Amino acid sequence: MRKPTRRRCKICKTKFTATYDNVWWCCPEHGFEYSQLLLAKKKLAAERKRKQEAQQERREMKVRKAAFKTKSQWDKEAQSAFNRYIRIRDEGKECVSCGNPLIGKSNYLTGSAIDASHYRSRGAASHLKFNVFNVHSACTRCNRELSGNAVEYRIRLVDRIGLVRVERLESDNESRRFDIPYLQRIKSIFTRKARQLEKRRARQQEHAA
């Protein structure tokens, strides 16, 4: 005959004599509580598995969608990520063209929105559209209505990055080929840079508070 086993109750941790191998509770009440605990663990495991499978499915869908994207789509996404980084980088600075503060939400009429303005435009110098020295934050009035407000832009750009860099931009006419892998890297790099900058700013604000 099997000898009774001494073990600890899974609920109250007190020692008891178990007459069967599958008994891990000292009383019927704790037996019910233990069954509910096991059920909750099973539900939690099932939910975790479901989330992992959903996450994996989203990753696979993202890869499939990326495979069908055109170069034009990648270019648009890369430029969007780059421009967002520029706006975050220049947060708190004045408009590079008119010198007015860049504050408030988007308002086309007053020019209070923030645009990533290219000194040498994408149309005239597309090879410089991802150059961080060629792009700076400006108000919508200067960037859109005044086509960049080029004369004032140059004056303040010299103050901001120096005459040598400005002249280097102006003399750079070497064409560049942006293939899909390059555009993917641009999007990834500046998305990461923007996040890092946002996190660093958030930490600085917390320390200052």
pLDDT in tens, 135-186: 999 999 999 999 999 999 999 999 999 999 999 999 999 989 899 999 999 9
pLDDT of residue 110: 43
* pLDDT attached to residue 37: 92
pLDDT tens digits for range 56-100: 999 888 888 878 899 999 999 999 999 999 999 999 899 999 999
CA 149 to chain centre: 31
| Contact between residue 130 and residue 78 where contact means Cβ atoms under 8 Å apart | yes
Stretch 1-8: mean pLDDT, rounded? 74
Is the Cβ–Cβ distance between 170 and 120 less than 8 Å? yes
CA 24 to chain centre: 48
- Please give the structure tokens belonging to residue 66: 């990326």
Q: Judge whether 184 and 75 are in contact, CB under 8 Å.
A: no
The string of DSSP codes covering the chain is -PPPEEEE-TTT--EEEESSTT---SSHHHHHHHHHHHHHHHHHHHHHHHHHHHHHHHHHHHHHHHHH--HHHHHHHHHHHHHHHHHHHTTTPBPTTT--B--SS--TTTT-SEEEEESS-TTT-GGGTT-TTTEEEEEHIIIIISTT-HHHHHHHHHHHH-HHHHHHHHH--------HHHHHHHHHHHHHHHHHHHHHHHHHHHHH-
Question: How far is Cα 32 from Cα 133, in angstroms, rounded to an integer?
Answer: 69
| DSSP states of 102-147 | --SS--TTTT-SEEEEESS-TTT-GGGTT-TTTEEEEEHIIIIIST
pLDDT at 158: 97
Answer whether residue 20 shows pLDDT above 90: no
Query: Position of tokens 């648009």?
Result: 76
